[in-house]
Amino acid sequence: MPVLSPKTVHHVTSGRSSSCYTLFVNELTGRQKIIEALKGQMLTAREISQAVGIKEKEVLEHLPHIARSLGAHGTQGPSLLVEPSTCLACGFVFRKRERLKTPSKCPVCRSEEITETRFGVFEQ
Protein backbone atom coordinates (compact mmCIF):
# COMPACT_ATOMS: atom_id res chain seq x y z
CA MET A 1 0.00 0.00 0.00
CA PRO A 2 1.47 3.36 -0.96
CA VAL A 3 2.31 5.77 1.83
CA LEU A 4 0.20 8.89 1.61
CA SER A 5 0.54 11.99 3.71
CA PRO A 6 -2.45 12.70 6.02
CA LYS A 7 -3.33 15.69 3.87
CA THR A 8 -3.41 13.58 0.70
CA VAL A 9 -5.46 10.87 2.38
CA HIS A 10 -7.98 13.41 3.59
CA HIS A 11 -8.22 14.96 0.14
CA VAL A 12 -8.51 11.65 -1.68
CA THR A 13 -11.02 10.03 0.62
CA SER A 14 -13.26 13.03 1.25
CA GLY A 15 -16.84 12.23 0.30
CA ARG A 16 -16.10 8.63 -0.64
CA SER A 17 -16.50 5.25 0.95
CA SER A 18 -13.21 3.81 2.16
CA SER A 19 -14.07 0.46 0.55
CA CYS A 20 -13.08 1.99 -2.80
CA TYR A 21 -9.55 2.72 -1.63
CA THR A 22 -7.81 1.05 -4.55
CA LEU A 23 -10.11 2.78 -7.02
CA PHE A 24 -9.26 6.26 -5.87
CA VAL A 25 -5.58 5.58 -5.61
CA ASN A 26 -5.78 4.70 -9.30
CA GLU A 27 -7.78 7.83 -10.02
CA LEU A 28 -5.37 9.94 -8.05
CA THR A 29 -2.45 8.53 -9.99
CA GLY A 30 -4.21 9.25 -13.28
CA ARG A 31 -5.00 12.79 -12.22
CA GLN A 32 -1.50 13.42 -10.93
CA LYS A 33 -0.06 12.20 -14.21
CA ILE A 34 -2.36 14.57 -16.12
CA ILE A 35 -1.34 17.46 -13.88
CA GLU A 36 2.34 16.62 -14.42
CA ALA A 37 1.81 16.44 -18.20
CA LEU A 38 0.08 19.83 -18.24
CA LYS A 39 2.55 21.75 -16.07
CA GLY A 40 3.73 24.79 -17.97
CA GLN A 41 2.18 23.86 -21.32
CA MET A 42 -1.15 23.75 -23.12
CA LEU A 43 -2.26 20.35 -24.48
CA THR A 44 -5.42 19.01 -26.12
CA ALA A 45 -7.32 16.12 -24.52
CA ARG A 46 -5.88 13.84 -27.21
CA GLU A 47 -2.32 14.95 -26.46
CA ILE A 48 -2.91 14.40 -22.75
CA SER A 49 -4.26 10.90 -23.42
CA GLN A 50 -1.11 10.09 -25.42
CA ALA A 51 1.21 11.59 -22.81
CA VAL A 52 -0.43 9.85 -19.86
CA GLY A 53 -1.47 6.61 -21.56
CA ILE A 54 -5.20 6.72 -20.75
CA LYS A 55 -8.24 7.15 -22.98
CA GLU A 56 -9.25 10.61 -24.16
CA LYS A 57 -12.70 10.03 -22.63
CA GLU A 58 -11.07 9.35 -19.26
CA VAL A 59 -8.98 12.51 -19.58
CA LEU A 60 -12.19 14.50 -20.06
CA GLU A 61 -13.67 12.83 -16.98
CA HIS A 62 -10.61 13.69 -14.87
CA LEU A 63 -10.29 17.33 -15.97
CA PRO A 64 -13.25 18.79 -14.00
CA HIS A 65 -11.91 17.10 -10.84
CA ILE A 66 -8.44 18.44 -11.55
CA ALA A 67 -9.86 21.95 -12.04
CA ARG A 68 -11.64 21.66 -8.69
CA SER A 69 -8.73 20.17 -6.75
CA LEU A 70 -6.23 22.74 -8.06
CA GLY A 71 -8.51 25.64 -7.14
CA ALA A 72 -9.95 28.44 -9.18
CA HIS A 73 -7.86 30.86 -11.19
CA GLY A 74 -6.80 33.69 -8.91
CA THR A 75 -6.20 31.50 -5.85
CA GLN A 76 -2.71 30.56 -4.68
CA GLY A 77 -0.81 27.70 -6.25
CA PRO A 78 -1.17 26.09 -9.69
CA SER A 79 -4.49 26.23 -11.52
CA LEU A 80 -5.98 24.59 -14.58
CA LEU A 81 -6.30 26.95 -17.50
CA VAL A 82 -8.77 26.14 -20.28
CA GLU A 83 -8.27 27.66 -23.70
CA PRO A 84 -11.70 27.51 -25.36
CA SER A 85 -12.31 26.11 -28.83
CA THR A 86 -12.80 28.64 -31.61
CA CYS A 87 -14.48 28.32 -34.99
CA LEU A 88 -11.93 28.88 -37.74
CA ALA A 89 -14.65 29.87 -40.20
CA CYS A 90 -16.39 32.68 -38.30
CA GLY A 91 -14.27 33.18 -35.17
CA PHE A 92 -16.95 32.08 -32.71
CA VAL A 93 -15.44 31.24 -29.30
CA PHE A 94 -16.93 28.42 -27.24
CA ARG A 95 -16.60 30.09 -23.86
CA LYS A 96 -18.77 27.76 -21.79
CA ARG A 97 -16.18 26.35 -19.41
CA GLU A 98 -18.19 23.32 -18.34
CA ARG A 99 -17.97 21.94 -21.87
CA LEU A 100 -14.49 20.50 -21.91
CA LYS A 101 -14.92 18.33 -24.95
CA THR A 102 -14.17 20.00 -28.27
CA PRO A 103 -17.54 20.75 -29.89
CA SER A 104 -18.20 19.09 -33.25
CA LYS A 105 -19.99 21.98 -34.95
CA CYS A 106 -20.15 25.75 -34.77
CA PRO A 107 -23.63 26.84 -33.58
CA VAL A 108 -23.31 30.08 -35.60
CA CYS A 109 -22.11 28.99 -39.05
CA ARG A 110 -22.24 25.17 -38.66
CA SER A 111 -18.62 24.83 -39.74
CA GLU A 112 -16.76 21.78 -38.43
CA GLU A 113 -13.40 23.54 -38.55
CA ILE A 114 -13.04 24.10 -34.84
CA THR A 115 -9.79 24.32 -32.90
CA GLU A 116 -9.42 21.82 -30.08
CA THR A 117 -9.96 22.88 -26.50
CA ARG A 118 -6.57 23.00 -24.78
CA PHE A 119 -5.63 22.67 -21.14
CA GLY A 120 -2.63 23.67 -19.08
CA VAL A 121 -1.52 23.83 -15.45
CA PHE A 122 0.27 27.02 -14.50
CA GLU A 123 1.63 28.45 -11.28
CA GLN A 124 0.36 31.94 -10.57
Q: Does 119 bind Zn ion (CB under 5 A)?
A: no
- DSSP single-letter state for residue 105: S
Residue of 20, 111, 112, 124 interacting with Zn ion (CB under 5 A): 111
Please identify, using beta-carbon distances, which residue of 92 and 119 lies nearer to Zn ion: 92
Residue of 9, 20, 93, 109 interacting with Zn ion (CB under 5 A): 109
**How far is 16 from 13, CA to CA, in rounded Å?**
5
Please identify, using beta-carbon distances, which residue of 54 and 89 lies nearer to Zn ion: 89
User: Binding mask 70-89 vs Zn ion (x if CB under 5 A, - otherwise)?
Assistant: -----------------x-x
Phi, psi of 99 (to 5 degrees): -90, 95
**Helix or strand run (H / E) with residue 62:** helix 56-70
With beta carbons less than 8 A apart as the criterion, state whether 87 and 104 touch.
no
Q: Does 93 bind Zn ion (CB under 5 A)?
A: no
What residues contact residue 55 under an 8 Å CB cut-off, 6+ apart?
49
The contact set with Zn ion (CB under 5 A) reads 87, 89-90, 92, 106, 108-109, 111
